[in-house]
């Protein structure tokens, strides 16, 4: 009897089922997976699904996961992305150890295998133009036509291919093609291009090569070289699998990996295509790849989303082959779940309204003790200054409150969290009729927040001392797109004009201002916030990661 791997959740998805079955059948000594990004952009939450799957399987089944850059197209790839991708994978909490690879590490081997294919009569150099090749490929319903160069001799093919390698021809002059079947129902088998001429600088191999292998000629072989057992990719590569297998079958590769496909992640109110993300940045619709509204890993990080929340999300959505669109609310739930347990509580007033406690002695200041986390005594306490002049949230006051409004209103008594009960006695307005200040009284007997006579209040509000709190800029984020299913083609039409709201006059606890911590805090009753990198010595900037659930707002929304 073999013990069940304790960490593997057998049956959680079809890929893990396959892995488990392969292990039970003793097909492999160890499971080896890989995450194979092309370094041509920043990673986003869709990649996180793949990362979580590949690294997760390796972890759960006691194997390893390689990080391999699929750098076969030097015209699109940059060192900047090679660096950012590694940083993002690490931030997500995964470690490839020594297993960092590049498809370009295998260029020499790949080239030799290509010559081997030519010698076996399984590949040929085609002199047709790109246009001619396209026309001869046929259509979805009509078979293709053989290239007039398809039956060249091995010697001629070898000579031409070597001259391609020797940079004797310009871009596009010739390609190396596999000799398979121009009439195949699977277009990927209609003599796919294996090598193309590209006179370009490669971030790793520099000017050494002037021909580069295509994805199809590089991927499976790279998997085989690294001993990958389960090569997991997304659905659109399903029709490439026959080619993947064909190449591994014809070539003297050291191992025989298998490809499995799953559905990529889609999220409501979100677009994840590289093209859209790039245009969002280039077009200035967002502040950059790490704009907190971006679904990039860098954006999530800057927004304050903890990596554990991303991992939790990936785990919850599962892995299957059905195309689907996950409700972004699922991600938000995961973020709140993690943050609720980890974030320390503080107070901040986003839209301040001045309150003067008329019966509180002028000049008196008290240090009120507040807990840092209601469910975790170990998080300790802190002291918050209380005085005669305070700020409360504008939304917490209504001059003419509807029935279910329990917060401050003329004559109503509420609790200031940890401090005292106060009652609103008078509303001060400016010439325009706007409420600018509240005159209140407090009950000294309620210090700490409880009335000795046992009387209750229906609301507890957060507050800050006017003179002790510090000013801050707070950035509130809403979905980048106003439409749950944004149009990827004409995405600008679906952009949410309210995706960013900046509050310039917010106030935060002195304690918050003094800290340079990048930990996410909960500003009580508001949500989770994190200090932004735009903060300077005299300007504090905070990003709202996510708001708290708000049953009251929902109630009001009902009408």
Show Cβ contacts of residue 179 under 8 Å, excluding neighbours closer than 6 positions: 121, 122, 123, 124, 150, 191
Residue 148, classed as helix, strand or coil, is coil
264 noted as active-site residue: yes
Interface with RNA in residues 247-276 (CB under 7 A): 263
Confirm whether 312 is a catalytic residue: no
DSSP summary character for residue 149: T
Within 452-471, which residues bind RNA (CB under 7 A)?
Answer: 459-460
321 binds RNA (CB under 7 A): yes
- In this complex, which beta carbon is closest to RNA, that of residue 30 or of residue 129? 129
CB closer to RNA, 509 vs 524: 524
Does position 372 interact with RNA (CB under 7 A)? The reply is no
Q: Does 448 bind RNA (CB under 7 A)?
A: yes
Task: Work out how close the CB of 29 gets to RNA at its nearest, in angstroms, rounded to a whole number.
Answer: 25
The region of 20-28, 109-117, 288-296, 372-380 touching RNA under the rule CB under 7 A is 372-380
Residues 99-128 that bind RNA (CB under 7 A): 128
List the catalytic residue out of 264, 382, 447, 470.
264
Whether residue 358 contacts residue 438, with contact meaning beta carbons closer than 8 Å, is answered with no
CB-CB neighbours of 42 under 10 Å: 24
Question: 10 Å Cβ neighbour count for 52?
Answer: 23
Q: Where does residue 355 fall: left (phi above 0), alpha (psi -120 to 50 degrees), or beta otherwise?
A: beta
Closest approach of RNA to the CB of residue 537, in Å: 29
From the list 86, 99, 162, 187, which residue makes contact with RNA (rule: CB under 7 A)?
187
Q: Which is nearer to RNA, 152 or 196 (CB)?
A: 196
Q: Which CB sits closer to RNA, 38 or 115?
A: 38
Going by DSSP bridges, is the β-strand pair 64-69/100-102 parallel, antiparallel, or unpaired?
parallel
Question: Which of 3, 140, 431, 432 is the binder for RNA (CB under 7 A)?
Answer: 140
Q: What is the 3-state secondary structure (H, E, C) of 461-510?
A: ECCEECCCCEEEEEEEECCCECCCCCCCCCHHHHECCCCEEEEEEEEECH
The smaller minimum CB distance to RNA, of residues 291 and 309, is found at 309
Query: Which residue out of 38, 337, 366, 473 is catalytically annotated?
Result: 38
Annotated catalytic residue 301: no
What letter does residue 365 receive in the DSSP assignment?
A: -
For residues 519 to 558, the per-residue mask of contacts with RNA, x marking binding by CB under 7 A and - elsewhere, is: ---x-xx----------------------xxxxx-xx---
For RNA, which residue of 309, 319, 422, 464 counts as binding (CB under 7 A)? Answer: 319
Return the CA Rg of the chain: 31
Considering the rule CB under 7 A, would residue 240 count as an interface residue with RNA? yes
Q: What would the DSSP string read from start to end of 339-361?
A: HHHHPEEE-EESSEEEEEETTSP
Nearest-angstrom CA–CA distance, 375 and 436:
36
Binding status of residue 377 toward RNA by CB under 7 A: no
Told to check if 21 binds RNA by CB under 7 A, we report: no
Query: How far is the CA of 336 from the CAs of 170, 214, 330, 341, in angstroms?
Result: 56, 43, 10, 8
Residue list 502-521, contact with RNA (CB under 7 A): none
Coil/strand/helix, residue 83: helix
Of 46 and 291, which CB lies nearer to RNA in the complex structure?
A: 46
Binding-site residue total for RNA (CB under 7 A)?
Answer: 89
Q: Which of 214, 270, 296, 412 binds RNA (CB under 7 A)?
A: 214
CA 414/CA 427 separation, integer angstroms: 16
Other beta carbons within 10 angstroms of residue 343's beta carbon come to: 24
Residues identified as active-site:
38, 264, 274
């Amino acid at each position: 009897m073999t013990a069940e791997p304790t960490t593997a959740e057998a049956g959680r998805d079809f890929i893990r089922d396959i892995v488990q079955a392969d292990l039970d059948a003793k097909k492999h000594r160890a499971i080896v997976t890989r995450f194979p990004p092309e370094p041509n952009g920043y990673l986003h939450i869709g990649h996180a699904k793949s990362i979580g799957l590949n690294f997760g399987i390796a972890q759960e089944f006691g194997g390893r996961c390689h990080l391999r850059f699929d750098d076969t197209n030097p015209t699109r790839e940059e060192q900047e992305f090679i660096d950012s991708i590694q940083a993002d994978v690490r931030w997500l909490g995964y470690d490839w150890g020594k297993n960092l690879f590049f498809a370009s590490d295998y260029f020499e081997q790949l080239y030799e295998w290509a010559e081997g294919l030519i010698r076996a009569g399984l590949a040929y150099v085609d002199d047709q133009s790109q246009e001619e090749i396209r026309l001869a490929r046929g259509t979805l319903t009509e078979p293709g036509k053989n290239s007039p160069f398809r039956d060249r001799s091995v010697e001629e093919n070898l000579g031409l291919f070597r001259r391609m390698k020797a940079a004797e021809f310009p871009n596009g002059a010739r390609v190396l093609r596999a000799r398979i079947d121009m009439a195949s129902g699977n277009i990927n088998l209609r003599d796919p291009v294996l090598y193309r001429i590209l006179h370009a600088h490669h971030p790793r191999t520099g000017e050494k090569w002037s021909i580069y292998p295509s994805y199809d000629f590089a991927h499976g072989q790279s998997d085989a070289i690294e001993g990958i057992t389960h090569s997991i990719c997304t659905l659109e590569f399903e029709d490439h699998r026959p080619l993947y297998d064909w190449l591994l079958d014809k070539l003297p590769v050291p191992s025989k990996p298998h490809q499995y496909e799953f559905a990529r992640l889609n999220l409501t109110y979100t677009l994840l295509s590289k093209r859209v993300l790039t245009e969002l940045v280039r077009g200035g619709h967002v502040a950059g790849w790490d704009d907190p509204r971006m679904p990039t890993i860098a954006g999530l990080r800057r927004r304050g989303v903890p990596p554990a929340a991303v991992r939790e999300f990936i785990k919850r959505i599962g892995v299957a082959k059905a195309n689907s669109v996950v409700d972004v609310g699922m991600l938000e739930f995961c973020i709140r779940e993690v943050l609720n347990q980890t974030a320390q509580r503080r107070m901040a007033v986003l839209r301040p309204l001045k309150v003067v406690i008329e019966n509180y002695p002028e000049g008196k200041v008290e240090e009120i003790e507040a807990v840092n986390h209601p469910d975790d005594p170990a998080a300790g306490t802190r002291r918050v200054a209380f005085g005669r002049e305070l700020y409360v949230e504008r939304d917490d006051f209504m001059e003419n409150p509807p029935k279910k409004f329990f917060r401050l209103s003329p004559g109503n008594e509420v609790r200031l969290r940890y401090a005292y009960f106060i009652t609103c006695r008078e509303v001060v307005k400016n010439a325009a009729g706007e409420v600018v200040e509240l005159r209140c009284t407090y009950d000294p007997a309620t210090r700490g927040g409880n009335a000795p006579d046992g009387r209750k209040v229906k609301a507890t509000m957060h507050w800050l001392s006017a003179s002790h709190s510090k000013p801050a800029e707070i950035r509130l984020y809403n979905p980048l797109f106003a439409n749950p299913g944004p149009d990827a083609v004409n995405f600008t039409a679906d952009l949410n004009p309210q995706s960013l709201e900046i509050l310039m006059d917010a106030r935060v606890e002195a304690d918050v201002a003094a800290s340079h911590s990048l930990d996410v805090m909960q500003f009580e009753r508001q949500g989770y916030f994190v200090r932004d990198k735009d903060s300077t010595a005299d300007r504090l900037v905070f990003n709202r990661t996510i708001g708290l659930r708000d049953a009251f707002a929902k109630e009001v929304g009902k009408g």
